[in-house]
Amino acid sequence: SLFRLKDLEVAELRDSDVHVKMLAAPINPADINMIQGTYAILSPLPAVGGNEGVGEVLEVGRRVTALKPGDWVIPADTGLGTWRTQGVFPEDMLLKVPSDIPVLCAATLSVNPCTAYRMLADFETLAPGDSVIQNAANSGVGQAVIQIAKASGIKTINVVRDRPDLPKLVERLMALGADHVITEEMLRKPEMKDIFKSIPKPRLALNCVGGKSTTEMLRHLQPKGTMVTYGGMAKQPVMVPVSTFIFRDVRLRGFWMTQWKKDHAQDQESLTSMIDALCQLIRRGQLTAPACTEVSLQDYRTALEATMKPFMSSKQILLL
């Protein structure tokens, strides 16, 4: 097995360090890919898994001014290694978050909601009444897209894979504020025209699947619209008909949160204003944590296995 639970000494606290007691950390698909060695970032081994989570500050080094004991913090960047009970980290690897939001919201804040927020903001200028289409709409990012869009008055068309408990999933996404939930098969059906009687065709498509359903999704994009790819769950390329490029001039872009953070390393304001905006939505009840299953660190094997199952509609969260 690639994983084992280990007891480590907590490193000594240097002047710019922060001693953190971890509270909760999710298991994301990218965390697993990193461990399998199929991700763009590889940690030198042995490494602590986990790129996301929330912790409470226990103690700070002499030079640390922005944080104090009792504050809540999340990783500022990828590769922190959050699947642990405690850790000592340099201050600049942590971001303070308010401690008055639910712990599961804070634990799942730094990757998926940030990805959703950026993709909705950075590629097309969307106004209330505009629409967005996305696949894997029940993923962590998908659920955040639905809620952030809803809070801004943007309509969402949400594509999911057909499954045994489809009505239950549709109901759950509608409760989050989805306007339409359809299966991949429906993308090819004439009924799609009915959707566009009440809302405009999307200018923005968000793709984390690839393969045939992505090509179908593109067909519904407005001329000059943008499709942003941020994942490839089907492990198949994105195929685009030549006519789509020539006659509809669509744009294909990519997004990776880790890269965005690198590009904005000198611009802390852009990161903190995004976190503030997301925390505001959480406080108003407009952004919730994805459906979660809470697991103790001792049961990490069960949680890892569950994360790799198909149609997993609940995110595994390690309670530390």
Amino acid at residue number 107: A
**pLDDT over threshold 90, residue 28:** no
User: What single DSSP character describes residue 209?
Assistant: S
Strand intervals (E) in 142-224: 155-160, 180-183, 204-207
Amino acid at residue number 161: R
The reply to whether 1 falls in a domain is no
The verdict on whether omega for the bond into residue 75 sits within 30 degrees of 0, i.e. cis, is: no
More confident residue, 17 or 213: 17
φ, ψ of residue 272 to 5 degrees: the values are -65, -35
Strand partners, 60: 18
Same domain, 213 and 300: no
Strand partners, 235: none
Q: 39 catalytic, yes or no?
A: yes
CA 147/CA 119 separation, integer angstroms: 13
pLDDT in tens, 255-294: 999 899 999 989 989 999 999 999 999 999 999 998 888 9
Residue 117: band (very low, low, confident or very high) from pLDDT cuts 50, 70, 90: very high
- The whole-number average pLDDT for the span 290-314 is 81
Stretch (H or E) spanning 251: strand 251-254
The reply to whether 270 falls in a domain is no
**pLDDT over threshold 90, residue 10:** no
Same domain, 49 and 139: no
Residue 1: band (very low, low, confident or very high) from pLDDT cuts 50, 70, 90: low
Residue 148: band (very low, low, confident or very high) from pLDDT cuts 50, 70, 90: very high
The reply to whether 263 falls in a domain is no
**pLDDT over threshold 70, residue 209:** yes
pLDDT in tens, 71-96: 999 999 888 899 999 999 999 999 99
The reply to whether 176 falls in a domain is yes
Domain termination site, one of 239, 257, 275: 257
- The whole-number average pLDDT for the span 188-215 is 94
Which CATH number fits the domain that encloses residue 195? 3.40.50.720
Which CATH number fits the domain that encloses residue 30? 3.90.180.10
**pLDDT over threshold 80, residue 3:** no
Amino acid at residue number 3: F
pTM over 0.85: yes
Question: Which domain, by its residues, includes 91?
Answer: 17-108+289-319
What pLDDT, on the 0 to 100 scale, is given for residue 7?
Answer: 85
Residue 98: band (very low, low, confident or very high) from pLDDT cuts 50, 70, 90: very high
CA 183/CA 209 separation, integer angstroms: 13
**pLDDT over threshold 90, residue 35:** no
**Contact in structure between 88 and 20 (CB atoms under 8 Å):** yes
Q: Per the structure block, which two tokens stand in for 238? A: 């994105």
Question: From the candidates 39, 117, 230, 300, which is the catalytic residue?
Answer: 39
Handedness of CA 67, 68, 73, 78 (dihedral sign): positive
Q: Per the structure block, which two tokens stand in for 183? A: 């299966």
Same domain, 133 and 216: yes
CA 140/CA 38 separation, integer angstroms: 20
CA 293/CA 174 separation, integer angstroms: 21
pLDDT in tens, 118-136: 999 999 999 999 999 999 9
Sheet with 180-183, side-by-side order of all strands: 180-183, 155-160, 131-134, 204-207, 226-229, 251-254
Residue 240 Cα distances to 103, 108, 216, angstroms: 42, 33, 9
Stretch (H or E) spanning 97: strand 94-97
Structural domain count of the chain: 2
Same domain, 300 and 235: no
Same domain, 148 and 162: yes
Same domain, 73 and 176: no
